[in-house]
Every structure is written in C-alpha cells, then in structure tokens.
Structure 1
Amino acid sequence: MTRTTPLCLLVTAQGVVSAASLVVEIVAGRMLAPHVGMSLYTWTAVIAVVLAGFSAGHWWGGRLAEKPAPVSLRWTGGAMLAGAITTGGAVLLLPAVAGWVLHVVPQQIWSITALTALVFFLPSFFAGVPAPVLAMIAVTSTDRTGPALGAMFASGAIGAIAGTLLAGFFFISWLGSSATLVVVTAVYLVSGLLFFRLGGWSGTGAEFLASLVALGTATLALNAPAPCDRESRYFCLRVEDISANPSDPVRLMVIDHLAHGISAARLPEVQFTEHTAMLDRLSILRATRAEFTSFHIGGGNYAVPRAFAARGTGEITVAEIDPAVTQMAAESFWFDPASATVLHEDGRHALLTRPEARFDIIIGDAFTDVVVPVHLVTREFFELAAKRLSDGGSFLMNVIDHEDRLGALASIVVTMQTVFPVVEVWAEQVQPTPGQRMVFVVVGGDVPTQSDSFLASAPNQKAFGALSDEMVAEMADRHGRVLTDDFAPIDRLMGLTD
C-alpha cells in the first residue's frame, strides 16, 4: 500500500495539516481575547499549550508509526477526525467554560493557561499525530530516505509559515475566528478521510460516524453566537447601549474584554469615565492657547477628540492603529472623521516618521489589555514625544495600576522624569479600597499645572487632584525604575505575574 503512495501526496498532506494547526494557534489568541484580553501572557499561554499538544501528538504518532503502514494510517485518520471534532468544538467549549475557569482560578496567568489548555490542547495534540507517521512512510517508501525525510520536514515548516500568514492576514479579518476554525475543521475532516482511504477502510462504520460528528460540530460552531459585533485584524469590538432613555442614546465601546469609552449622542463635551475627564480637562488647563493642536495616541471611541472638536480647539490628529475602531466610532459613537486627521498606524511610528510635526498637547491613551504597550512607556519614546511638542507643550498619559503596587506607575514617572522637567500624577480625589485598580494621568512638561485640583463631569461632577510632590517622590524611590526599549517589564510591574 505505502509503496504506491506518491511522496508528493505525503508531502502535501503534511504541509496542509501543519498549516491548519498553525491557523488554530493564531486563532486561539484571538478567541481568548474577549475573555482574558490580549497580552504577553495570553500569547505565552497559547504558544506553550499548542507546543505541548504538538509534542504529545508527535510522541503518540511516533508509536503509531511502528505499526504496519495501513494500520498507522487508519489510526492517523482517526486522530484527524478527532482533531476536527475538538477544533470545531473549541468554538462551543470556550464560552461555556471561560467564566467557570476564571472564577475557580483567580490568578490571571494561571487562569489564562488553564483556559487555554482546556480548550486548545486536544486540537493541537491530534494535529501533531500525522507528522511522524507520514515521515516514516515517506522514508520507507523510497530508496532515497534523506531527501524524503528532508521534504517532509520542509513541508511541515512551509505549511506552518503559510498557516501563520493566512490566519493573520486573511482568515481572521475576512472570516472571523469561528468561521476560520470551521475551515480548519473541514481540512482535518478531509485529511482524516484521505488517511483512511490510504490505509484501507476499517469496515466498522466508525469513520462515517466520526465524520458525521465532525460535520455536526462544525455546523454548531458556525451558528454559535459571535462574541464580537465586529472582529478586526486587531480586536474584538462590541457596542453596548447603556441608555436610561432610548431617545437619548449613551453607548459603551468594549474592545476585547474591557470597556474603552462611553459617549452620549447629545453631550459631546461631557466625559463618562475618569481617565477621559482628566485628559480632557488637563489638556485645557495646560494648553498655552485656546486653539491648541493635539495628537492622540489611541482613538478608542474618540470621546476626547470629539470633545475637542465640539469646543473648536486647534488641529486634531489621532493615531489609531485599527481602522475598524475608527469606523465603529463614526458609526456608533458620533465621531465625525472630518473633524480630525486620523492616521491608521502605530502612534510611536506616526511621531517618528513626521519629524516636522509639532503639537501643543500629546495624549497617550493606548492599551493592550490593561497595560500601556511596552514601546509607549520607555525613555526613548518619551524623548521622541518631547521633541514633537511645541514650546510650552505637554504630554499626558493614561495609566492603570493597583493601589497596593504602583510599580508600573512609579516606573513610568521615573522614566518621564529623565525627559521632562516637571512630572505630575493626577487621580480622582477619593479614598481607594485596598488593592483597587486605579486610573491615573501622568503629565510631563516644562511647568506645573496652574491648579492642583479641579472639578469635572464624568458624567457626574467629581474632584480630581495632583498627588503631592512628596508622595510622588516616595513612590518613585520605592517602586520606580527607568524603562528603556531594551528592558521595560511593564506587565510584571503591573503584578500580572504573581
């Protein structure tokens, strides 16, 4: 049987299975984001679990490879059908168990790892089975074992590259995560049937039954409720209406699993969150002129740029990496794209490639999960931002940290102090609860803000104030370290690894 199996067919099958398995790996991170966010630790868990699955699958496939070729091919066919069932089933399993896992395992890193293993280990395990079986058949079916083995390894690597590119550049943005896994389910199903055909049917009807289960699972997965209103290349986006009065709409934008902004149709100048209230009011307090220019790193629901436009401030530029976020802000959050220059690129890159640009206010409000992206908290970035400020200009950054840690906040402050003569930390004037996740705005500039407190609507009137110089100095001395492009462990400083 195996001596009549063309080597090109084995090489192609290996490449296709490898490509499909890498598609699952990329999609896993995207699917987990609405439940646990998209962070360094999400991707670390995904890669570790998938590699563990591949390794275990290769081990079992190596044991199957010792069997006669027809038998090993039938076992491999069964593994592929099981892979089809578990891959399609991941779409249904993840939302069913996510809440329970996150409740039972409260520590973030371990909860992400446990959830990833529960949902994506088995699809990776079954996808790892064919490689050693097909390699054994390839080298025993030809007199030139070296080239045959090399071709199998090369096919696996090329397939992995193709799967990664297809998932990142095509499948997720055009089909979405669920439909992409249904495509992989179909690939595994066809591969399983091919291996059964090459190895000879068992005659028990098990192949037919498993195929029906795989098809049923794929159908259910394709019709499962989508967690996103829109799934872009970067984020899972959702709009929630939180209006008390349907005729006076107020909407919340959710990116992955976190709220990223609230806006009201009739109140463009009113902010609904503490961080946008501070960014909005502090920009006005620190601007050296009424018609100040501003550069916004991160758009979100565009609440602050919309408020600036409503007041008639100067030229507004927004660097929002995801065009889908901008589109949703225009469609659902009353942002007028004509009121600002929108750059769909990374904020640091936008500043770096526009050396002639100068702004009165630069606002950093970009987040990956609850953490500011690492390249936006380093000394090198703050030096770049300072060069793009006009005389007397100010840099403002939204930062989240825990009341009992403050390592991330302190390090950002210490790092900004190497660049800006004056660095202030602002927060709502309210006593935090122990361990509370708090929102701060860090300000860098040449001179202090004229006032050390102010009232602002968020949407009810709240008091905000600057931390005393003594408090900032003590915090910086105890917890701070300078962050650089070479080393900026912002996730660890946030306490996400404990």
Structure 2
Amino acid sequence: MDDEQGPTVGLGPVAAAALVFGSSAAVLVVELVALRLLAPHFGLTLETSTLVIGLALAAIAAGTWAGGWVADRVAPRPLLGPLLGVSGAAVAVTPVVVRGAAAAGPDLLTLAAALTILVPGALLSAVSPVVVKLRLTSLHETGAVVGRLSGIGTVGAIAGTVLTGFVLISRVPVSGILVGLGVLLLAASVAVQATGRRGRGDAVLGAVVAMGALAATATPSGCDTETTYHCLAVAADADRATGRTLVLDGLRHSYVDLEDPTHLEFAYVRAMAAAVEVGLPGDDPLDAYFLGAGGLTLPRWLDATRPGSDALVSEIDGGVVAADVDLLGDSFPAGTEVRVEDGRQGIERLGSDGRDLVVGDAFGGVSVPWHLATVEALEGIDAALRDDGLYVANLIDHGPLDFARAYVRTTAEVFDHVTLLAPPAVLDGDDGGNLVLVASDAPLDADAVVEQMAARDLGWRSLAGDDLAGWTQSAPVLTDDFAPVDQLLTPY
C-alpha cells in the first residue's frame, strides 16, 4: 500500500510552483482591488472591508474544496486551462459589471459585487488542489508535496498583497489592474492548454477579455483620477462659474471658489468659521493645524481673513494634494504647508503649546478615522494647543447619533469646555448630517457662536454645559484600546 502510485505526472515542479504562486497572488489582487472598486458605491468602512475579506475567504474555501473534489474524479491536467482562462475573463469584465450594476440599482449592485469576488476567487483557488493532484506520485511524498505547494501559495498571496498595496494601486487605475490581470491569466491558460483543445476555447475567452477591456475603457468610472485611497473627481458648479467641488468616492468633500477664498459654500464650514471668529476674536494671524486637506477651503479662508497666518496640513492621500495643486495652482496660501502623512503621526509631531487652532476634517468615507477619535489622539491635540487655543471638528452621523455622542463625550474627557453645533433637526434626532464640535480649555460663548452662525445664514443650535453632558452621558469613551467607530455610526 505504501508503494501505491498516484496519477501520472503532467506538470513539472517549476510550472507547478508558478501556477500555485500566480493563482494565489491573483486572488489577493482581486480582493484588494475589489475594495477600491466598491468604495464609491458602498463606502470604505470596516463593514465593507470585512464583507470583502469574508467573501474572498469563502471563495478560497469553496474553490479549494471543489477543485480537490473534481480533481479526484476527472483527469486533472485538462482542468488547468479552463480554470485560468475563465477566471481571467471574469476578472477582466469586473469593472464594467460593477459600474453597470451600480447604474441599475442597489440590489443588482450587491449581487454583482458578490459575484465578481466569488467567481474568480473560487476558480483561481481551485488551481492549487489540481496542481497538488498532478504532482503526487507516491504516498511517501504526500506531506512534502502538499506542504511545499501550500507554502508557495502563501508566498504568492503575500506577493500579491504587497504588489497591489504598495505598487499597483498607487500607479495603475483599478480598471487597468483588473484587465491586465485578466490578460495575464488568459496567457497562462494558453500556456498550459493540452493539445487537442487549443484554439477555439482560448479565442472565445480572449474575445471576452478584449470586450471587458474595451467596456472598462468606455464605461465612465466617475473618477478624474484614482488616488491611493480614493476615486477622485473635481466637479464644476453650474451656478457659480468659479466654484469647484472635490468629490471623493462619490461624496462631496470640499467646495472652493477659485477667485474668492472667503466664500464658504458648505454649512458645516460656515459653522466652523463662526466658531473660530468667536473663540479666537480679532484679525491677528493664527498658527493653525489641519487634519485633512480636502480642497484647502479653510486654510485659504484663514489666509484671506487673517493675513500672515501659518497653516500646517496633514493629508494621508497624496493624490488629494496633487489635485489641490492642479485645482488651485498659484492661489495656494503662502503660509500653508501640506504634509502627506497620517493625521495621527502628524499630531505626534506637533509638539506642545504651539497652535492657536486645530481643525479636524479627516474622513474615511463618512467616518472619522477611529484612531483620530480617541482620548489619546485628543490629548495630543490638546497638548499642541495654547491655553486659550481652539479645536474645531467636523462630524457626520445619523439616527440616534451614537458616534457623535461618543466623540463628544470623549472630547469632554480631555478639554474643559466643549460645545456642539448642529441643525435643530439633527439635534432632535429627526435628521442626520454634519455636526461641528468646538473644544477648548478656555470658556466659549456658545450664544455668540449661534449669533455668528445666524449672520452666516445658518439656523443651527448649540449644546453645551449640563445639557451637552446629559446628551452624551450614556455614550462610551473612545480609546486606542476600544473605538468601535464604524459600529456606532448609523448609515443614511
């Protein structure tokens, strides 16, 4: 029994390793790129990432199981070509399928999104057990063959992850990555096809890949550019010739007037400006720090209203900064420095007691990044402010406002005085949207802020003192050890 022979070897060791390595890498490329492709439609949240990872793992499990089952029942060698070719075709048509489904409606989009991960993931994952079957010649070497090829597959998955995350997404559009991968898989299919089947099937699959490439090129992605983190577009304002809106993943993030930096279009930005005017009165220059660049709306406003101000900006996405350079050109404020860095790292570099103003307006989708919402992050902001300095932050929440309550309560753990500004319907729980938090170790005249907002055509209310403490009393305090930001948020 120990000398029982397996199937005749139909694949050399180098080819076997290459197929396992490449197919495993391709699965991870599809998974990571799917996150970018779906972000404009589903947002880039913890739930979205969890769902995509879960679907990819389900595809790997199903493909590995099914591939091994089939390889035990039919000749395994002829399976490799179709597995690679069909998966290549499926990958290549993914961009047009997802974007077409998005135009048709949310139900179809959800189905299309799931299938574009499950189908190629399962087909590619079936390659490894088929290759293992081809390489097993004796029961004496079962452990060595399976262990060696499993290790190679894991290394391939690591390579696919690193290549996609550090190289491809920052340099190649999402459509280009998927179509290019589809072409590579089809080429691999042709290379391993058995004699007698070469030609017709590959021609059909090649036509599918070509059509997928053409359709991906012709189908608008909604992006002017795909940055490392976002699908970015700049939209002109039909009602204001000099107005431009920065759109990230389908969401309006910033509005700038190219000729008038004092024009503040978005209501929450006007509320922030009102808080700054009351909390830091006068026209003296300010030393300010901004978490998130957006369209540099408030740095430009600050430069125009308080000439000589210095503004340091931390923006994690270099593509956003490049878009600002293209959009604003020479109108960049002279005192503004933009660093491409994570905001938490930027906070840690600020030092102590040097800033008059810190503005928080950093978002991943509609969520404040969790590591910028914790006690530890806020302590860094407080340390960077002068004794009478001001922290102003933009929040977005809906429904019971669980995240907003938690963030306000967390801020109150650090700062002596906290005020919340929002439309009445939001504070009453009838609506959702933007809220503006204002915090300082010096008292703030909340009534004066309301008056200043009214002067800017904002009918917003304020909550402060005992009223605000009662509003947040049941909310959790967010820490680096416990910050379930995505779970607290209510989608709209």
TM over 0.5: yes
Instruction: For residue 433 of structure 1, report the CA deviation from its aligned partner.
Output: 8.6
Equivalent in 353, 362, 384 of residue 366 of structure 1: 362
8 A contact 1:243–1:249 mirrored in 2: no
Equivalent in 250, 272, 280 of residue 279 of structure 1: 272
The correspondence of residues 48-67 of structure 1 with structure 2, limited to 5 A, is 48-67=54-73
Instruction: For residue 214 of structure 1, report the CA deviation from its aligned partner.
Output: 2.9
Distance 1:222 1:470, change over 3 A: same
Structure 2 residue 167 is the aligned partner of structure 1 residue 190 = no
Distance 1:154 1:271, change over 3 A: same
Equivalent in 229, 235, 241 of residue 234 of structure 1: 229
1:457 and 1:369 map into 2 onto residues whose CA distance is 29
Report the secondary structure of 1:202's partner residue.
coil
Deviation readout 1:99-122 (Å, 9 max, x if unpaired)? 4442x49xxxxx86x553133211
Instruction: For residue 353 of structure 1, report the CA deviation from its aligned partner.
Output: 2.7
Report the secondary structure of 1:482's partner residue.
coil
2:395 and 2:292 map into 1 onto residues whose CA distance is 13
Instruction: For residue 471 of structure 1, report the CA deviation from its aligned partner.
Output: 3.5
1:4 and 1:131 map into 2 onto residues whose CA distance is 14
Instruction: For residue 8 of structure 1, report the CA deviation from its aligned partner.
Output: 1.5
Equivalent in 115, 119, 139 of residue 116 of structure 2: 119
Instruction: For residue 150 of structure 1, report the CA deviation from its aligned partner.
Output: 2.1
Other-structure match for 2:3: none
Other-structure match for 1:173: 170
8 A contact 1:379–1:483 mirrored in 2: yes
Other-structure match for 1:301: 295
Other-structure match for 2:261: 268
Distance 1:264 1:204, change over 3 A: closer
Structure 2 residue 394 is the aligned partner of structure 1 residue 398 = yes
Distance 1:385 1:482, change over 3 A: same
How many residue pairs match? The answer is 481
8 A contact 1:264–1:333 mirrored in 2: no
Equivalent in 371, 374, 381 of residue 377 of structure 2: 381
8 A contact 1:455–1:464 mirrored in 2: no
Structure 2 residue 243 is the aligned partner of structure 1 residue 250 = yes
Instruction: For residue 73 of structure 1, report the CA deviation from its aligned partner.
Output: 2.4
Instruction: For residue 57 of structure 1, report the CA deviation from its aligned partner.
Output: 1.2
Structure 2 residue 101 is the aligned partner of structure 1 residue 97 = yes
2:451 and 2:100 map into 1 onto residues whose CA distance is 45
Bigger drift between 440-449 and 469-478 goes to 469-478
Instruction: For residue 435 of structure 1, report the CA deviation from its aligned partner.
Output: 4.5
Bigger drift between 128-137 and 286-295 goes to 286-295
8 A contact 1:7–1:148 mirrored in 2: no
Report the secondary structure of 1:342's partner residue.
strand
Q: Partner letter of residue 32 of structure 2?
A: I
User: CA RMSD for the aligned pairs?
Assistant: 2.5
Identical-pair percentage? 28
Structure 2 residue 22 is the aligned partner of structure 1 residue 16 = yes
Q: Partner letter of residue 268 of structure 1?
A: P
Structure 2 residue 38 is the aligned partner of structure 1 residue 32 = yes
Structure 2 residue 225 is the aligned partner of structure 1 residue 221 = no
8 A contact 2:401–2:490 mirrored in 1: no
2:303 and 2:163 map into 1 onto residues whose CA distance is 40
Distance 1:463 1:191, change over 3 A: same
1:433 and 1:379 map into 2 onto residues whose CA distance is 26
2:478 and 2:427 map into 1 onto residues whose CA distance is 27
Distance 1:356 1:9, change over 3 A: same
2:341 and 2:16 map into 1 onto residues whose CA distance is 42
8 A contact 1:297–1:319 mirrored in 2: yes
1:345 and 1:282 map into 2 onto residues whose CA distance is 27
8 A contact 1:293–1:314 mirrored in 2: yes
Bigger drift between 212-221 and 337-346 goes to 212-221
8 A contact 2:179–2:213 mirrored in 1: yes
Instruction: For residue 347 of structure 1, report the CA deviation from its aligned partner.
Output: 1.5
Other-structure match for 2:312: 317
Moved runs in structure 1, 4+ residues, more than 4 A?
429-435
Instruction: For residue 26 of structure 1, report the CA deviation from its aligned partner.
Output: 0.6
Report the secondary structure of 1:393's partner residue.
strand
Structure 2 residue 332 is the aligned partner of structure 1 residue 326 = no
5+ residue gaps in structure 1? 106-110
1:457 and 1:167 map into 2 onto residues whose CA distance is 49
Other-structure match for 1:108: none
Structure 2 residue 49 is the aligned partner of structure 1 residue 46 = no
Instruction: For residue 135 of structure 1, report the CA deviation from its aligned partner.
Output: 1.2
Report the secondary structure of 2:435's partner residue.
strand
Structure 2 residue 476 is the aligned partner of structure 1 residue 472 = no
Other-structure match for 1:487: 482
8 A contact 2:254–2:297 mirrored in 1: yes
Q: Partner letter of residue 414 of structure 2?
A: V
8 A contact 1:185–1:218 mirrored in 2: no
8 A contact 1:406–1:475 mirrored in 2: no
Instruction: For residue 37 of structure 1, report the CA deviation from its aligned partner.
Output: 1.5
Other-structure match for 2:4: none
Q: Partner letter of residue 249 of structure 1?
A: T
Equivalent in 82, 86, 92 of residue 88 of structure 1: 92
Distance 1:435 1:101, change over 3 A: farther
Return the TM-score normalized by structure 2: 0.91
8 A contact 2:99–2:219 mirrored in 1: no
Instruction: For residue 378 of structure 1, report the CA deviation from its aligned partner.
Output: 0.7
